[in-house]
Chain A
Amino acid sequence: MRDPSERGLRESATFDRASIAAIQHAARTGVYDIRGWGAKRAVPHFDDLLFLGASMSRYPLEGYRERCDTDVVLGDRHATRPLHLDIPVTIAGMSFGALSAQAKEALGRGASEVGTSTTTGDGGMTDEERGESTTLVYQLLPSRYGMDPDHLRAADAIEVVLGQGAKPGGGGMLLGQKISDRVAEMRTLPAGIDQRSACRHPDWTGPDDLTIKIGELREITDWEKPIYVKVGATRTYYDVKLAVAAGADVVVVDGMQGGTAATQEVFIEHVGIPILAAIPQAVAALQELGLHRKVQLIVSGGIRTGADVAKAMALGADAVAIGTAALIALGDNDPQYAAEYEAIGSAAGYYDDFQDGRDPAGITTQDPELASRLDPVEGGRRVANYLRVLTMEAQTLARACGKAHVQHLEPEDLVALTIEAAAMARVPLAGTSWIPGAGS
């Protein structure tokens, strides 16, 4: 059959095929679409920035010969045991429940192999994950599923989660097909139900209470552990200021491209701002407080390459976190499962139904047979490989800009390709000195 456009038919830009399919699905089922992944719409991103490599006015470092360090210290503001990571790329929080135990173990193995941290999620800490993660960040979420003071003490840092980029203002979800007996037991829920998590913390409200809550967490862990505060990117300037005022050692900002295991499509695509727009707000807040580089900033949401890592750091982040990209490294959306993706109504490269537990790659599932497809050792090796590539790419760009440490990258090294990106990232449009909105 000929392509409709070749027959002169015009597809609506407003009612495109995805919109038509969504309306048809809503009419047929009466339920809204819940899916995984992050925002799929095009938004201004790191691709809209370029580095100004060294030439006459800047002095580059020799690639492969001159050192370009990548280590980062996180949480040395108040904690007596801050984290020392070898690379500035961390693994973001993803729950056991959303992911299989094998996937969690693999992420721990991969992160540990290259000297970085991984993070628990909305479901507690598993032995596999703790055992294979040299540095593990333990999340404190509104649901408090599996929250255990022994795990707080066993963790290397604590992340108080106020929100995530895929759904700022929303609570977690885990549909019944993924509430296996083990997941149910860890979360104290009946097996097989559709879990609805709270979006607000149960025992504190607002920044003043958070200050006291962080104080309690410090007391419980004898002031040893760094305490992160994670927010979804929205009113980032104010959120970062309040998080710092509440005592955070590290602030994590997750842009709207950040992934989720299960959230309403309408939430994923229509709430929150791109990470590109959030980083300069966060950095400005920290600078105004005199705490940039003292309270560390981790950013996430759409990090794919070492270029993304380097650009995020040039804008002022101390480190980045990856989630979706780490799953892809594990084997998510692998073409080897093309036929199986087709069989469940998706396609390799498009698969985002993390909520339904039928992941052919065995990552976002609790089905024992599917989960067994992922070998944690091999998965860990793949994640470690990917993390090394990200780091080497970031080093390459940093050396080109004359930096002996990736953290020395700065906004002055960047220009923007579009007016939108220039305004959001607060760097000049390429070939000009114009930063839209600056000085106004």
Chain B
Amino acid sequence: MAALSRAEAEARETATSTAHTVTVDLATATVRSLNAELHRPTATSYEVLHPHGAHSIAAGVHDEIDVHVRGHAGYFCAGMNQLAHVVVDGSAGNGVAENMMSGTVRVRGDASQSAGATGRGGLLVVEGSASMRCGISMKGIDIVVGGSVGPMSAFMAQAGRMVVCGDAGDGLGDSIYEARLYVRGSVGALGADCVEKEMRDEHRAELAELLAAAGFEHGDQQLREFRRYGSARGLYHFTSEHSGTY
């Protein structure tokens, strides 16, 4: 299923490009020196050149700054992000925006496993597709994926919302708690205790809000194509009858 087109993201990019921007070139600088600067920022906008898949780029940032990564990022890009707005102009490795608290992280390309894992707040946008375990153990983060997500996504998802504009692999929402999932395309076998739920007006409104926040243009027809999934809450208490469920 084709990704929705982006609109707001472009506008935002234009806005930030006018601010004072510090450029860090990872062809010569180290990730350590980059992160040391980002943890005590002297500017409000940063551009990271030649990331070449380096790990932990912009991990642990806790100020409201813009970080634009011009290329592919490795593991844990924008890990535990607070307040910052991070854009990866490429693909991101394992655990992008893991345990994010607030702010936004946008991946222009695809994301590897465990995107947004355990995130507690903020918004993660993956414009391409995300691999397996996207949103695993999410705890309040919002995740919007323009393409598809792999198997076991939203595993043990506790809180927050996930929107998948493409398809979802097997095991979606396995052992899910209170997170809310919206998928536009096909869904493989649902995980234990994850069920499809009625899509009411308030859910369509929530979905529209999330798509808008992610910068994806959408119409009423597209909203109607999404289906909602969540917890049947059947595994909230241990009983021997559950032994065959897992």
Q: How does the 8 Å CB contact mask read for A199-213 relative to B, with 1 for contact and 0 for none?
A: 000111000010011
A28 CB to nearest chain B CB (Å) = 11
B194 CB to nearest chain A CB (Å) = 15
Cross-chain contact A203 with B95 (CB below 8 angstroms):
yes
Inter-chain contacts of B62 with A (CB < 8 A): 149-150
A190 contacts chain B at the CB level, 8 A cutoff: yes
Inter-chain contacts of B82 with A (CB < 8 A): 149-150
Majority SS of interface residues in chain A? loop
A216 contacts chain B at the CB level, 8 A cutoff: yes
Inter-chain contacts of B239 with A (CB < 8 A): 30-31
Cross-chain contact B118 with A190 (CB below 8 angstroms):
no
Q: How does the 8 Å CB contact mask read for B165-208 relative to A, with 1 for contact and 0 for none?
A: 00000000001011000000000000000000000000000000
Q: How does the 8 Å CB contact mask read for A146-163 relative to B, with 1 for contact and 0 for none?
A: 011110100000000000
A103-111, A218-226, A321-329: which lies at the B interface?
Answer: A218-226
Chain B residues 108 to 131 lying within 8 A of chain A, measured CB to CB, are 113-114, 117-118, 120
Cross-chain contact B118 with A147 (CB below 8 angstroms):
yes
Known: A31-B239, A188-B159, A202-B137. A152 touches B80 (CB 8 A): yes
Known: A31-B240, A176-B237, A194-B237. A212 touches B118 (CB 8 A): no
Please, how many angstroms separate the alpha-carbon atoms of A328 and B241 in the complex?
Answer: 36
Inter-chain contacts of A149 with B (CB < 8 A): 60, 62, 80, 82, 99, 101
Known: A30-B240, A188-B159, A216-B59. A144 touches B95 (CB 8 A): no
B94 contacts chain A at the CB level, 8 A cutoff: yes
The residue that B101 contacts in the complex, of A148, A209, A216, with Cβ under 8 A, is A148
Interface residues on A, range: 20 to 34
Inter-chain contacts of B31 with A (CB < 8 A): 219
Please, how many angstroms separate the alpha-carbon atoms of A31 and B99 in the complex?
Answer: 34
Chain A residues 110 to 165 lying within 8 A of chain B, measured CB to CB, are 143-144, 147-150, 152
A240 CB to nearest chain B CB (Å) = 24
A7 CB to nearest chain B CB (Å) = 38
Report 11 cross-chain contacts, Cβ distance below 8 Å, ordered by A residue.
A29-B240, A152-B60, A188-B159, A193-B237, A202-B136, A203-B98, A204-B75, A212-B75, A212-B76, A216-B56, A222-B36
